[in-house]
A and B are shown apart, each in its own frame.
Chain A
Amino acid sequence: MPARDLIPSLDPIPLPAPYWVFKLLLVVTFTLHILAMNFLLGGMVLALASRWSGSRERANRLFTDIATKLPVLLPATVTLGVAPLLFLQVIYGQFFYTSSVLIAWPWFLVLVMLTVAYYGIYYVSARTHRQAGSGRWVLLASFLLIAVIGFLFSTNLTLSQTPAAWTGKYFANPSGWNLNLAEPTLAPRYLHFFTAAVAVGGLLLMLIAWLQRNSDAEYRRYIFRFGGKAFEYATMAQFAVGFWFLVSLPRDQRTLFLGDNSLATLLLVIGIAGAAAAIMVVARALRQDDYRMGALGGTATTAVVVLVMAVMRDILRDAYLKPYFHPERFVVQTQWTVLPLFLAVFLGGVALWLVMLRRYPFTATLKSGPARSGAK
C-alpha cells in the first residue's frame, strides 16, 4: 500500500486557532524544553566524567554540585516538554500518533525508565549531599536511562516524518516492538542532540562557577575551566557531527540547506557562525578568567543557536512531510472564548513564576535543620 494512502485523515474538529499560532508555540516551547534537557543530560555526563577522572576531592565536590541540581533540572525538562508534545499533537497528530503506535512498547517504556531514572536522581542527590561524590553508579544508571529515552524520542520523530517506512514495520510487528534503526539519519541526529547536551552541560558548570561567589577561588576556577573546555570540545565535535547529519539527509532535504531554500541556508550559516562565536566567547572568557562573560555570554549565544537549530529542525520536518502534510487543508475555527483566557493565565503564570523565584533566597545559607557534611 503506498504510504500516501496510509496517512490518517485529519481530525474533523477544526483547529482552535490559526496554524501558525501552534507552530510558533511548538517551536518556542520545544527550544525551552531542549535547553532544559541539555542542562540535565550534559550535567549528568560531566558529573560522571569528573567523578571518574581528575582529583578526587574536587571531582567529588563537582559531582555533588551537579547532582543536587538534577532533581530540579529533570522536572524542568519534563514540564517544559509537555507543552511542545501538546502542540505537536494538534498539528502533526496524523504522523506522531502513527509512529508512536509502531514503536508502542519502547515508547510506553519511556515512562517506566523515566520514573526509575528520576528516583535514581533523587537518591544520588540525597546521598552525595551526605557524603560528597557517592552514588556514581546509580547516577550512571539514571544517565543511561535518560540517554535511551532521548534516543527513543529521536526514533519516534524520525519515524513520524518517514511514512514510507511505516507499513513494513507495522505488519511485521503490530505489537509495537519496533525501532527505526535502519533510518540513516537517526544516529547522526541523535548524536547531534547528545553532543549539544554535553556542550550545554559545560555551560551549566560555568554558570555554577559564576554564581558560586562564596566558594574558594581554586575550586571555582576548576569547574569554570572544566565546563569551558567541555563546551569547546563538544561544540567543535559538533561541526563534524552536524556535517555527518547534513550529508545523511536525503538529497532533496539536504539541498534545502545548501542554497535551495534561502531561509534554511541562512539559518544554517547563522547556526554555524553562532556556534563558532560561542566557542570564541568561551575561549576568551577562559583566557581572561572572566566568569561572567563565559557563563552569560556563552549561554546567550548558545540559546540563540539552539533557537535557530529548532527552526531548522522544523523546516526539515516539513520538507520530509511535504508529500503528505497539507497545512492549507486545516479548517480553522478560533476559540475566541478561551484563547484570551489562556493568554491571561499564561502571562499571569509567568509573572507569578518570576515572583516566586525572586522571593526565594537561593544564595542564602541554611536557616536551620540538621548539620550536613558536604553541604555547600
Chain B
Amino acid sequence: MNYPVWDVTFGAGLLIAIVSILHVFVSHFAVGGGLFLVLTERRALRQGDSGVLDWLRTHTKFFVLVTVVFGAISGVGIWFTIGLIHPSATSSLIHAYVWGWAIEWVFFFLEITAALLYLYGWDKLEPRLHLWYGWIYFIAAFASMVIINGIITFMLTSGKWVETHAFWTGFFNPTYWPSLAVRTAIALALAGIYALITASRLRDTSLKARMVRWSALWILPSMAVLPALIWWYIRCIPSELWASARGAMPTASHYALEAAVLAVLTFLMVLGTLIRPVRLHIAYSLLLLLAALGTMGSFEFVREAIRKPFVIANYMYDNALYATPSAADGGFSVEAIDKAGVLNTARWVQHADGTAAGREIFRVECQSCHTVDGYRGVRRLLAARQWDAGQLDAMLGSLDMMHNGVMPPFAGNDGERDALSAYLATLYHASPAPTEGAQLFERNCAVCHQSVPTDPAITAIRSLDPEAASESLKNLPALFVRMPDLKLSDQQRTALVQWIKAGGPPAQHAALVRPNGGN
C-alpha cells in the first residue's frame, strides 16, 4: 500500500508463478548444461569421437537458444514481474542485497560472453581453447546460482537477519547449503533431460544409442541423491513452516505430493529411455521434459507456499506490510495500521466509506495473493464456507490463525474490518446455516482446526460431557481470545458436539490427498 497495486484480474500470483517456473526450469539447465557440454566434449576429444562432437555442436545451438535467449530474458522477467506485483519486497531485496546482485551481474556478463564465444568457437577454436571457454561459462553460471541461492533462501528462512540486518547473516541462512545442494543436483539432472531432446533427433543409430545412454546415465546419479538432499533441506526448514506442506495448508500439501509423484515419474521415464535407447522418440523426450517441468514447478510452489504469510520470512508479509514496526517503515506495519487505519495509511486509495471502502481494502491488503474470481479467488473460497457478513467479520479477526497461519493478520480498525466483510459478503449468497455436524465443522471450524483429530480444541470437547461441551461453545472468545464470536444456535452446537464425539474430523493425512482447494 506504499505502492499502487496492479490489478491483475486472473491473479498476480499466478503471473509470477508462470514467469518464475519457466525461468528456473531453464536457468538450472543453463548451469548443469554447461558442465554437461564441457565434460561430454572432453570425453569425445579423448576418444576422438567426431560424431559426438558434431552432436554437441548442434546441442550447443539449442542450449544457447534456450538459455541465453529465454533464460536471460525470463530472468530479467522475474525481476520486472516482482517489481510490478511486490514493489516493496523487491525494494527490500535490492536494498539488502544490491552488492550481491551486482556481483551476480558480473558473473552473468561473463556467462553470456563465454556462452556466445563457446557457440561461435566450435568452428574457429582449437579444442583446448574451446574447452577453456566452456569451463568459464560453467563456472560463471554456477557462481551466479551460488549468489541467487543466498537471496532466495533468505526469503524463506531469514534467520538472524531480522535482528542484525547483516548481509552475510541473511545470505548464509539456515537453508542456504541444503538448497544449493538440491539446486545443483536438479541442474545436473536437467542437463541430461534436455540433452535427450537433441539426442533423440540423431539419425546415426549407433551414435543415438550411445548419446541417449550417456545422457540418461548422466541424469540418474543426481536424481538418485535428490531424495537425501531434499530430506536435508526439509530438516533445515522450521517445522512449523513445513507443517503447511504436511496437510495444514491445502496448496502446499497438494504440490508437495505432486512434486514427489512427478519426480518418481521422471525418474522412471529416464530409466525407460535405457530400454531401447535407439528407439527414443522426440515425443517421449518432450513428455519427459514436461514431467521434469512439473516436478520443478511443484517444488518451487511448495517453497513459495510454505513461506506464507511472508514474502520475506519474519520481515515482510505477502501484502507488503512489515511484521514488526520500525522507525523508518512509513507506518506500514500491522501494529501501526491497526491504530491508524488502513485507509488512512495506504497511499493509493480513493474511497473511505461503505462497500467501496471494503473493495479498496481488499485491493491493498488481499490482492497480492487473492483475486475475486481468478487465481485463489475469494468468491469461490468463501462460497465454500458460506459465512454470513457477521461470521466473516468475526473470522477476519483470526485470519492469521487459518490454515496453519498462512495468511497475514487483518490490519486496520474495526470499521475497516466491517467494511471489508460487508464487501466480501456481496460476492456470494450465503445459504441458511447447516444443522448437520460435519457441515458445521467444515464451515466454521476446519479452517483453523485443520481436520486434525489431535487438535487441542477437539480433544477438549471429546473429554467433556455433551452438555458442558455444547455450553462451552456458546462464547468462543471466552475459550480463547482469538476465537471468532460465532453465534451458533443450541441445535447447531449440539449437532457439532455430537459429531465430534462420534468420531469427528478425518485423519490428517486425508488432507494430503485432497485436490488443490486453494488456501
A and B form one complex: yes
Does A199 reach chain B (CB closer than 8 Å)?
no
Contact with A93, one of B9, B87, B106 (Cβ below 8 angstroms): B87
Q: Which of B64-72, B408-416, B429-437 contacts A (4 or more CB under 8 A)?
A: B64-72
Does B451 reach chain A (CB closer than 8 Å)?
no
Contacts of A187 in B (CB 8 A): none
Contact with B112, one of A12, A79, A90 (Cβ below 8 angstroms): A79
Interface pair B69/A118, CB less than 8 Å apart: yes
Interface pair A349/B106, CB less than 8 Å apart: yes
Interface pair A174/B5, CB less than 8 Å apart: yes
Does B105 reach chain A (CB closer than 8 Å)?
yes
Does B283 reach chain A (CB closer than 8 Å)?
no
Q: How far is the CB of B343 from chain A (nearest CB, A)?
A: 12
Q: How far is the CB of B496 from chain A (nearest CB, A)?
A: 42
**B163-196 contacts to A (CB < 8 Å):** 165-168
Inter-chain CA distance A364–B123, complex, in Å, is: 10
Inter-chain CA distance A10–B331, complex, in Å, is: 11
Contacts of A368 in B (CB 8 A): 123
Q: Which of B40-48, B91-99, B477-485 contacts A (4 or more CB under 8 A)?
A: B91-99
Interface pair A5/B347, CB less than 8 Å apart: yes
Does B441 reach chain A (CB closer than 8 Å)?
no
Q: How far is the CB of B77 from chain A (nearest CB, A)?
A: 4
Contacts of A338 in B (CB 8 A): 99-100, 103, 167-168
Inter-chain CA distance A338–B2, complex, in Å, is: 29
Inter-chain CA distance A338–B150, complex, in Å, is: 14
Closest to A113 in B: B73
Closest to B54 in A: A369
Q: How far is the CB of A251 from chain B (nearest CB, A)?
A: 29
The number of chain A residues with a CB under 8 A from chain B is 70
Inter-chain CA distance A203–B80, complex, in Å, is: 32
Does A78 reach chain B (CB closer than 8 Å)?
yes
Contacts of B331 in A (CB 8 A): 9
Interface pair A78/B76, CB less than 8 Å apart: yes
Inter-chain CA distance A367–B363, complex, in Å, is: 61
Interface pair A12/B329, CB less than 8 Å apart: yes
Does A141 reach chain B (CB closer than 8 Å)?
no
Inter-chain CA distance A356–B113, complex, in Å, is: 8
Contact with A175, one of B7, B19, B114, B121 (Cβ below 8 angstroms): B7
Q: Which of A13-21, A271-279, A293-301 contacts B (4 or more CB under 8 A)?
A: A13-21
Interface pair A356/B84, CB less than 8 Å apart: no
Interface pair A79/B136, CB less than 8 Å apart: no
Does B348 reach chain A (CB closer than 8 Å)?
yes
Q: Which of A94-102, A242-250, A319-327 contacts B (4 or more CB under 8 A)?
A: A94-102
Q: Which of A103-111, A206-214, A227-235 contacts B (4 or more CB under 8 A)?
A: A103-111
Q: Which of A45-53, A81-89, A281-289 contacts B (4 or more CB under 8 A)?
A: A81-89
Does B515 reach chain A (CB closer than 8 Å)?
no
Interface pair A12/B98, CB less than 8 Å apart: no
Interface pair A104/B69, CB less than 8 Å apart: no
Per-residue CB contact flags for chain B residues 1-39 toward chain A (1 = under 8 Å, else 0) read 011111111000001000100000000000000000000
Interface pair B114/A356, CB less than 8 Å apart: yes
Does B232 reach chain A (CB closer than 8 Å)?
no
Q: How far is the CB of B140 from chain A (nearest CB, A)?
A: 9
Contacts of B142 in A (CB 8 A): none
Inter-chain CA distance A9–B105, complex, in Å, is: 27
Does B110 reach chain A (CB closer than 8 Å)?
yes
Inter-chain CA distance A25–B99, complex, in Å, is: 12
Interface pair B107/A89, CB less than 8 Å apart: no
Does A75 reach chain B (CB closer than 8 Å)?
yes
Q: How far is the CB of A113 from chain B (nearest CB, A)?
A: 10
Interface pair A111/B84, CB less than 8 Å apart: no
Does A341 reach chain B (CB closer than 8 Å)?
yes
Inter-chain CA distance A14–B167, complex, in Å, is: 12
Q: How far is the CB of B448 from chain A (nearest CB, A)?
A: 32
Contacts of A171 in B (CB 8 A): 350
Does A236 reach chain B (CB closer than 8 Å)?
no
Contact with B110, one of A71, A87, A353 (Cβ below 8 angstroms): A353
Per-residue CB contact flags for chain B residues 329-351 toward chain A (1 = under 8 Å, else 0) read 11110000000000000011010
Interface pair A79/B84, CB less than 8 Å apart: no
Inter-chain CA distance A107–B96, complex, in Å, is: 25
Interface pair A101/B6, CB less than 8 Å apart: yes
Known contacts A89-B94, A356-B113: A83-B133 contact under CB 8 Å: no
Does A115 reach chain B (CB closer than 8 Å)?
yes
Q: How far is the CB of B312 from chain A (nearest CB, A)?
A: 11
Known contacts A78-B72, A335-B167, A367-B124: A16-B106 contact under CB 8 Å: no
Does A8 reach chain B (CB closer than 8 Å)?
yes
When A and B form their complex, which 4 residue pairs have the shortest distance between CB atoms, in order from nearest? A9-B330, A97-B87, A13-B95, A12-B328
- Given contacts A8-B87, A111-B76, A176-B8, could you give 4 more A-B pairs where the C-beta distance is less than 8 Å? A75-B68, A97-B3, A115-B69, A342-B102
Q: Report 20 cross-chain contacts, Cβ distance below 8 Å, ordered by A residue.
A: A6-B347, A9-B330, A10-B328, A10-B330, A14-B95, A16-B98, A85-B79, A86-B101, A87-B98, A89-B94, A93-B90, A98-B3, A101-B84, A122-B69, A174-B5, A174-B7, A337-B168, A349-B110, A361-B124, A367-B123
Question: Which positions in B face A, CB cutoff 8 Å?
Answer: 2-9, 15, 19, 57, 65, 68-70, 72-74, 76-77, 79-81, 83-84, 87-88, 90-92, 94-96, 98-103, 105-110, 112-114, 116-117, 121-126, 129, 132-133, 136, 165-168, 322, 326-332, 347-348, 350, 363
